[in-house]
Amino acid sequence: MALLERWSSSALETLARAQDTAAQMFAPSVRLGVTGLSRSGKTVFITSLVHNLMAGNALPFFEPLAQKRILRTYLEPQPDDAVPRFDYEGNLAKLTAAEPEWPEGTRQISELRLTFEYAPGAMMRRALGATRLMHLDIVDYPGEWLLDLPLLDLTFEEWSRQSIAMAREPSREPAAKEWLAFLAETNARQKKNEQTAKQGAEIFTQYLRKCRDDALSFSSLTPGRFLMPGDLAGSPAFTFFPLEAPGGAAPPDNSLWAMMARRFNSYKRHVIQPFYRDHFARLDRQIVLADVLTVVNAGADAVADLERAMSDILGCFRHGQNPWHAMFSGRRIDRIVFAATKADHLHHTNHDRLEAILGLIAKKSIARANFTGAEVKAFALASVRATGEAEARQGNDRLPCIVGVPLKGERLGSRAFDGKEQLAIFPGDLPEDPALALSPEWLKMGHSAAHFVRFRPQRQRALGFGESPVLSHIRLDRALNFLIGDKLS
Ligand SMILES: Nc1nc2c(ncn2[C@@H]2O[C@H](COP(=O)(O)OP(=O)(O)O)[C@@H](O)[C@H]2O)c(=O)[nH]1
Ligand SMILES: [Mg+2]
């Protein structure tokens, strides 16, 4: 009897180990793309998401966790050896330090694998057995690179025509002045010349940079790598600019036009296509982050431009209609989130309103791109709260304020901050009707001071004695639930 018991327990162990290995082998992986323009909040988002998942708390709207079906969440080596690893530990250390700081900006693609051990929901349990594994591969990549994908469909001539027309739009013309002057002096038929190529690319890049600054906050800016080069900066594939098409016979091979067209094509072949094939085409789910408050603050032109960028982005996710999509057999993205980040710059009474505004911009973009094929949702969130809330009195009025410590060097009117002083600001109210918020009249008014102040991250508190601090967030769990909740059902 004893022998039998021993035998059977080791047999059971073997069996359990075999099941483990099988589960590991067949553990599905979900690739989640996290993108957005520089400073939109990707690094902070991923760090907070992973930290909150691993701590297993403070995510009440993430159903698998709320239902207590997640047994364990841990980091594992990522599947792609050639992609830098996302520096989760470094970023977390900064955010949870005694003197917390925002992590440094990244200018590259990176990846992180998070593995979930979970119990399937009641429906699936009978079919699948007790415990399951799922890998979540989070891919952080610059939104600037995403906005390049539509270029795959354009010839040099088409892209030039579009770019030059855009630079001449009244909202962009002031920023484009120098560039347009350079263009006026440049003839497509002139002999090719490396110095002209370099100088033109530089002036064109300066124009794109001006468009990106807070004051303008434009989103449609190509070529994206001119702003976010990754590791290819300075190569000839990056040294080109749009040109006015010469009429009449095709310009000769040694013309500036031919040189620029060749480089544009190299940029597509050596930069955009590999990104598409190696990264973009392998994603299952996507979240696009945008600093919507800054865009709204910059005014109607910036909002219109965000809408244009969002339709362009949606165009990239359309199945089967892009000729270049057929070149690679990709996975299909079936859920897309647009998220307005830094919602902690508003009082919580305004979070729904911010979400409604982004929802309306998304709706317009969907209509404009005639988009079908994936579910799209808009959320307003803060990955890491930098503010608290308070009420101020002004006469008989009670003003809902946010309270935080502006970063050293930030200014509000004539006041400069030292990074220590706490400030309560009434950030203003967004209109209840999102259509009103997007009306030119309202956007013209220039609403809130709070958005022009960046806050230091707060000192994060631990939930229990001796535990490590938890990053507090706003509505991160709701976005997460839509992005991956169903994959853990
Ligand atoms: N108040 C607040 N600021 C944020 C939040 N997330 C990001 N930020 C700010 O935005 C900056 C850029 O964020 P980061 O994640 O580095 O952007 P990335 O370039 O898209 O990776 C940070 O340094 C912060 O100043 C947030 O949840 N709340
Ligand atoms: Mg980053």
Q: Which of left, alpha, beta for 330 (phi over 0: left; psi -120 to 50: alpha)? A: beta
Q: What b/e readout covers 60-93, taking b as 16+ CB neighbours within 10 angstroms?
A: eebbbbeeebbeebeeeebebeebeebbbeebbe
No. of helices (H) and no. of strands (E), the chain: 18, 12
39 Cα–ligand 1 center, Å: 6
Complete edge-to-edge strand list for the sheet that includes strand 132-140 = 70-76, 110-118, 132-140, 29-36, 285-290, 335-340, 375-380
What pLDDT band is residue 3 in, cutting at 50, 70 and 90? Answer: very low
37 Cα–ligand 2 center, Å: 9
Answer with the residue of higher pLDDT: 128 or 382.
382
Task: Check pocket membership of 229 for ligand 1, CB cut-off 6 A.
Answer: no
Atom of ligand 1 nearest to the CA of 40: 20
Q: State the pLDDT at residue 449.
A: 45
* pLDDT at residue 1 tops 50: no
Hey, where are the domains in the chain?
24-141+279-384+473-488, 150-276, 388-452
pLDDT, tens digit (0-9, with 9 covering 90-100), for 195-230: 999 999 999 999 999 999 888 899 989 999 999 988
238 Cα–ligand 1 center, Å: 28
Answer with the residue of higher pLDDT: 73 or 447.
73
Q: Which letter does DSSP use for residue 374 in this model?
A: S
Say which CATH superfamily domain 24-141+279-384+473-488 falls into.
P-loop containing nucleotide triphosphate hydrolases (3.40.50.300)
pLDDT, tens digit (0-9, with 9 covering 90-100), for 4-23: 444 455 555 555 555 555 55
Task: Check pocket membership of 382 for ligand 1, CB cut-off 6 A.
Answer: yes
Which residue's CA is minimally distant from atom 2 of ligand 1? 342
Ligand whose nearest atom lies closest to the CA of 38:
1
* pLDDT at residue 286 tops 50: yes
Q: State the pLDDT at residue 4.
A: 45
Residue length, the chain?
489
Tell me what the mean pLDDT of segment 151-161 comes to. 96
Task: Check pocket membership of 42 for ligand 1, CB cut-off 6 A.
Answer: yes
pLDDT, tens digit (0-9, with 9 covering 90-100), for 430-464: 889 999 888 888 887 766 545 568 899 998 877 77
pLDDT, tens digit (0-9, with 9 covering 90-100), for 320-355: 555 555 555 556 899 999 999 999 999 999 999 999
Task: Check pocket membership of 52 for ligand 1, CB cut-off 6 A.
Answer: no
Distance CA 227, CA 212 (A): 9
Which of 35, 43, 44 has most ligand 1 atoms within 8 Å of its beta carbon, as the pocket-test mutant? Answer: 44
Task: Check pocket membership of 95 for ligand 1, CB cut-off 6 A.
Answer: no
Q: State the pLDDT at residue 321.
A: 55
Atom of ligand 1 nearest to the CA of 384: 27
* pLDDT at residue 30 tops 70: yes
Which of 39, 52, 139 has most ligand 1 atoms within 8 Å of its beta carbon, as the pocket-test mutant? Answer: 39
Tell me what the mean pLDDT of segment 67-84 comes to. 94
Ligand whose nearest atom lies closest to the CA of 104:
1
One DSSP character per residue, 219-276 reads ---SSHHHHS-TT-TTSGGG-----PPPPSSPPPTTBHHHHHHHHHHHHIIIIIHHHH
Q: State the pLDDT at residue 316.
A: 86
Ligand whose nearest atom lies closest to the CA of 385:
1
Ligand whose nearest atom lies closest to the CA of 404:
1
Answer with the residue of higher pLDDT: 141 or 331.
141
Residues 6+ apart with CB under 8 A from 474: 343, 344, 348, 351, 380, 381, 382, 385
Q: How far does CA 147 lie from the centroid of its chain?
A: 11
Distance CA 284, CA 31 (A): 5
pLDDT, tens digit (0-9, with 9 covering 90-100), for 373-409: 899 999 999 999 999 999 988 888 888 999 999 999 8
